[in-house]
Structures are given as C-alpha cells and as structure tokens.
Homo-oligomer: A and B are copies of this chain.
C-alpha cells in the first residue's frame, strides 16, 4: 500500500483509481463464478424430477464449495494486483488498522459494490430463469440472530485477511488459500441460516438487479459492519498484547 505523503490524501489518486478499476474487475470475476454456482445449483434443483430432488444439505454444500473456491482462486489471481479483497467490510477493517488509506477505501468500496452489480447483471443475461443468488433469512431465524451470525462469520473472514495477508510471514504468499477456505468453512455454518453474505457487496449486487425483493436487506449492511469492527478490535488487541511473544516457536 502506498504510504500517505505530506501532499495529502490525494497524492496517490492516480494509482488508487487504477487499483479501484482492477478491483472492480476482480469482484466481477469472484461473484460471476461464486453466484454462478448458486444459479446452477438452483437450476439443477428445478430440473430434477421429484424422486431425485437434491436434499437441502447437497444444495448448501454445493453453494459453499462454489463460493469458497471462487474466492480462493480469484483472490489468488488478484492478490499481487489489488490485494484481492472484493469486500467493503474487509476493506474497512484494513483502513481501521492503517493498511488502506481513506481515499483508496472509498474508491475500493465503490468498485466492489459496482463489481457485484455487474456480476449479477452478466449472470442474469447468461442464464435462464430469475436470478437465484439473493441472500435472505431462513424462516426460523429472526433479524437479530441474522445480524449476529453475519457478524461472527464476517469477523472470521476479516481475521483471516488480517492474520494471513496483512501480517507478513512465510505463508503470506499462500494467504488466498486460507482466506478462501475460511469463506468455505463459514458458509457451511451460515449459508443455511442467512445466505452467508459476509460481504455487503455480495448481498447488494443481486438485490439491485432483482429490485430488493427480500425483506431485511439491512441485516447484510449491519452484520458485516459489526463483524469488521469486531475483527479489527481483536487484531488491535493482538498487536497491543505483542502476540508474537506468546508462542515464539511458530
């Protein structure tokens, strides 16, 4: 990340705009294949005859694999280009801990929200049937539970980015593997209950394209935002506690 100079916030604006444009391409890449897998799973369900209808578990496992692997590979490909965040909540945490400057944060968020809309629109055009990748709360879950599930899952994802990619160590070049698998593991818990957004852009894109058809869209703004705060606070605490000294053998 470029360090801020005395010339002020906008000294690196040209480079920030370039990064934002490429982050938009990367977010489109991530969500085209991630949400595309959800679209295929839903189409596959509808195409099944009654006796071979997939179970809920199959559906959820398919979606988790699709989102997890899609983030793993797209974050890997864009890791050395823009960092491969694709997620305003992760970008917020990186601003809060001082890795991303404020101007770049704003541009990246716009790029990520835009990329999510573009991916959803492309998916709409390329596949038959209505877009099936909206996040919504399962009927037995109330909004507060939804907010806290999204909060914990997002906090896990943000912690993965902070500990594997922002912290420098021998496994840092392989951080995208750990980050993608964190999304995978969190999906296996959360996707059944809330759709496992963990990323406001991922919830926002399909909602824009389909016209906000599900209630409680605010859950996917509040939950991931709180998760981002929780993980940033935990990371700041870790640095304050000099975590490297607790177990120096690793």
Contacts and interface: CB of A to CB of B under 8 A. Distances in A.
Contact of A188 (B1, B18, B37): B37
Contacts of A59: 57
A76 B164 contact: yes
A201 interface: no
A33 B61 CA distance: 14
A99 B249 contact: yes
Contacts of A174: 171, 174
A177 B69 CA distance: 12
A70 B185 contact: yes
B32 A152 contact: yes
Interface in A147-182: 148-149, 152-153, 156, 159-160, 163-165, 167, 169-174, 177-178, 181-182
A25 B53 CA distance: 40
A74 to B, nearest CB: 8
A40 B55 CA distance: 13
Contact of A55 (B39, B54, B79, B192): B54
B193 A246 contact: no
A interface, how many residues as a size bin? 35 or more
Interface in A200-226: none
Contacts of A244: 80
A54 B55 CA distance: 5
A83 B32 contact: no
A105 B172 CA distance: 29
Nearest to A182: B73
B189 A40 contact: yes
18 contacts: A15-B246, A18-B241, A22-B238, A29-B159, A33-B153, A33-B185, A33-B188, A40-B191, A52-B53, A52-B55, A54-B58, A57-B62, A61-B62, A66-B185, A73-B178, A77-B178, A83-B250, A172-B250
A106 interface: no
Nearest to A66: B188
A5 interface: no
A136 interface: no
A220 to B, nearest CB: 16
Given A73-B156, A127-B145, 15 more contacts: A2-B248, A19-B246, A19-B247, A22-B241, A22-B243, A25-B234, A40-B188, A43-B140, A44-B192, A70-B185, A70-B188, A73-B185, A77-B160, A80-B163, A80-B169
